[in-house]
Each structure stands twice: as structure tokens, then as C-alpha cells.
Amino acid sequence: SGAMAKLTQLIDNEVFQAYATYATVVLLKMMIMSLVTAYFRVTRKAFANPEDTASFGKGETAKKYLRTDPDVERVRRNHLNDLENIVPFLGIGLLYALSSPELSTALLHFRIFAAARIFHTFAYLIPLPQPSRGLSWAAGYLVTILMAYRVLKTALHL
């Protein structure tokens, strides 16, 4: 149909394809944090819900696994930091992709953001000494601000 054709054209646009690719990559990266959290909860035996500790027995035996663990909390902070930074990228990046930027410029923005967030995760989980994590956070943040500037310049309608 005609509408289908238009949708196909949207996904056939190279800038939009680049957005689709990098948005999916950073979302998949963020989703991995759930698995890392589960891994640390199981290996550190540190759970948040009583029903999650039932397999360790009943009563006091299971209750001692209802606790926080530094490694689990570190992954959770990383996951929340991802949410705080990837949500703006998703929204602003989509609008930026629709503002007809040059493909090479768009790719540069998307690649820096994705690389920064992937490096940020390693810096957080290893952990690397500061300012590794701080700088990778700032790189993703600045790229998002630059894209927001272009969106507002192109589409401003207050």
C-alpha cells in the first residue's frame, strides 16, 4: 500500500537507518545490565524480595540473603545512569535524525554516543580510576546537547 511504501522509505533513509542501528545497540547494551544484575544477585546471594530467596530455605536461613551487596549496587547505579542518559539520546536522536543532517555528521554523533556509553559501562564495572567514567559520561552528554541544539534550530515552535 501507499502508507507501507512511505514507511519503507523512512527505514530506507540512511540517516534514519544509522539512528535505528545505534539506538538499538545502546538499548541492547542497557538491557544487558539486567542480566549482569541477576548474575551478581545470584553469585553474591543478595536479593531484594523475600520470594526470590525461597529456594535457599525458609525463615531465618532465607532472610539473611535479603541484603544489599556493593557489586549489585554498583551495577544498579550503572543501569540507572544508562536510563538517565539513553532516554534523552533516544528522544533527541530520533528528532535529530528527522532534521535532515548530513549522513557523515549524524554517524559521527551516533558513534561517539554509543562508544562513550559502552566505554562508560566498562569504566563503571571494572572499575577504572576516575576521570575515565566521568569523561565517557560527559562525551555522551555533550553529543546529546549538540543534537538537541540542531533539533531546536530546525524545528523550534514554542
Contact positions vs a second copy (CB under 8 A): 1-4, 6-18, 20-21, 23-24, 27-28, 30-31, 33-34, 48-49, 51-52, 54-55, 74, 77, 79-80, 83-88, 90-92, 95, 98-100, 124, 127-130, 133, 137, 141, 144-145, 148, 151-152, 154-158
Other beta carbons within 10 Å of 157? 4
In sequence order, the 6+-apart residues with CB closer than 8 A to the CB of 37 are: 72, 75, 76, 79
Under 8 Å between Cβ of 61 and 71: no
Closer of 79 and 117 to a second copy (Cβ): 79
Closer of 14 and 57 to a second copy (Cβ): 14
At its nearest, how many Å lie between a second copy and the CB of residue 151?
Answer: 5
In sequence order, the 6+-apart residues with CB closer than 8 A to the CB of 58 are: none
At its nearest, how many Å lie between a second copy and the CB of residue 121?
Answer: 14
At its nearest, how many Å lie between a second copy and the CB of residue 17?
Answer: 4
Under 8 Å between Cβ of 62 and 49: no
At its nearest, how many Å lie between a second copy and the CB of residue 128?
Answer: 8
Measured CA angle at 31 (ends 16, 74), to 5 deg: 130
